């Protein structure tokens, strides 16, 4: 069921991105950009935006630009994450990673171009949001992507390798590295729904917890998952000495922590009744996923 929804949404986002890029001037970076962002990946962040949109009864046409933008940032982070100076991985989404296919310099530039494309997509004239909303969303996306978000989290992740860290430090790092983009997914929908500040922040924090759950599931996949299904190397966290919840409290306790976190998230969604059913289903999928 959820797999079908993910595929349907991924197709919509791919189509949007292809159209958007086709309207721009051609450059030799377009093929590696498309390779990195189109026809691959679950596009789960877009699904989460659409699911949150249902809570606020928002039409998909008001959300599609932020979905495409978030996928550009996410794919950019994966292209850079795979580089030899970062996690040095040769396989992504079941294919050679972008630097393996196009070379390192091109992969860096294609990643950077996806970052800037995200902001073009949000500020585009055809985006149905008001300029005020676009500005607020751009500020939030920049904040979630830079040193206070993904990039900062990645820096900590690399610095934490082979070091002894506390539970609090690891959770903080994972909330930045992975959670901040999920914060964006929920909070930007609340912005579009013109919610009050308090509610926007509440949804942002809830998104961050969903992102943390997603990262924990990713760590479980690394330990127990299959390379074929995941489309990326597994069993590498231990080899690299990555600081994860599993590395400090062990699989059983980390698994209990994740179950508790999922219950907390679902309890918060319950308040929104049947409008939150889609997001509830996606959260359930996140912890059980094998890809
Ligand atoms: C992008 C702002 C920015 C900076 C670059 C390299 C880097 C700094 C950050 C890396 C962050 C990172 C790789 C976090 C891991 C998040 C994660 C669990 C990724 C896997 O996401 P999926 O499963 O991937 O949604 P698919 O392939 O399905 O899209």
Summarised one tens digit per residue, pLDDT across range 220-239 is 999 999 999 999 999 999 99
Residues β-bridged to residue 92: 95
* Position in ligand 1 atom list of the atom nearest CA 80: 6
Centre of ligand 1 from the C-alpha of residue 271, in Å: 30
Q: How many CB atoms lie within 10 A of CB 25?
A: 5
Q: pLDDT digits over 43-78, tens only?
A: 999 999 999 999 999 999 999 999 999 999 999 999
Q: pLDDT digits over 100-110, tens only?
A: 999 999 999 99
Q: Are 250 and 220 in contact (CB under 8 A)?
A: no
pLDDT of 39 above 90: no
Alpha-carbon dihedral sign for residues 243, 249, 254, 257 = negative
Mutate to test the pocket of ligand 1, among 68, 88, 178, 225 (most ligand atoms within 8 A of CB): 178
In a 3-state reduction of DSSP, which class is residue 91? strand
What local confidence, expressed as pLDDT, does residue 141 receive? 98
Average per-residue pLDDT for the chain: 97
Beta-carbon contacts of 62 under 8 Å, excluding residues fewer than 6 positions away, are 53, 128, 129, 192
Output the pTM of the full model. 0.97
What local confidence, expressed as pLDDT, does residue 1 receive? 86
Centre of ligand 1 from the C-alpha of residue 75, in Å: 7
pLDDT of 214 above 90: yes
Question: Which class for 29: exposed (0-12), middle (13-18), buried (19 or more C-beta within 10 A)?
Answer: middle
Section 27-32 average pLDDT: 98
- The region that residue 241 occupies, defined by phi over 0 for left and psi between -120 and 50 for alpha, beta otherwise, is left
In a 3-state reduction of DSSP, which class is residue 29? coil
* Position in ligand 1 atom list of the atom nearest CA 93: 27
Section 192-220 average pLDDT: 98
Where b means 16+ CB within 10 Å and e means fewer, 62-84 reads bbbbbbbbbbbbbbbbbbbbbbe
Q: For ligand 1, atom 18, name the residue with the nearest CA.
A: 215
Section 167-195 average pLDDT: 98
Section 9-20 average pLDDT: 98
């Amino acid at each position: 069921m959820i797999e079908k929804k993910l595929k349907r949404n991924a197709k919509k986002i791919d189509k949007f991105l292809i159209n958007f890029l086709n309207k721009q001037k051609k450059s030799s970076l377009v093929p590696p950009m498309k390779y990195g962002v189109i026809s691959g990946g679950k596009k789960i962040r877009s699904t989460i935006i659409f699911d949150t949109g249902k809570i606020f009864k928002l039409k998909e046409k008001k959300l599609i630009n932020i979905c495409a933008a978030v996928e550009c940032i996410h794919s950019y982070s994966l292209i850079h994450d795979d580089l030899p100076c970062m996690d040095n991985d040769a396989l992504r989404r079941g294919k050679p990673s972008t630097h393996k296919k196009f070379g390192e310099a091109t992969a860096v530039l294609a990643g950077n171009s996806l970052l800037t494309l995200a902001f073009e997509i949000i500020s585009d004239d055809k985006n149905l949001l008001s300029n005020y909303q676009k500005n607020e969303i751009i500020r939030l996306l920049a904040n979630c992507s830079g040193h206070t978000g993904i990039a900062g989290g990645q820096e900590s992740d690399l610095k934490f390798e082979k070091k002894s860290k506390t539970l609090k430090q690891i959770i903080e790092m994972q909330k930045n590295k992975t959670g901040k983009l999920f914060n964006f997914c929920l909070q930007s929908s609340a912005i579009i729904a013109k919610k009050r500040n308090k509610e926007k922040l509440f949804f942002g924090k809830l998104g961050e917890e969903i992102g943390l759950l997603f990262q924990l599931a990713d760590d479980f996949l690394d330990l127990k998952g299959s390379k074929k299904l995941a489309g990326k190397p597994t069993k590498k966290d231990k080899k690299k000495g990555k600081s994860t919840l599993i590395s400090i409290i062990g699989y059983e306790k980390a698994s209990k922590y994740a179950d508790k976190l999922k219950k907390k998230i679902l309890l918060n969604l319950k308040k929104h009744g049947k409008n939150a059913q889609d997001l509830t289903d996606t959260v359930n999928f996140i912890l059980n996923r094998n890809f």
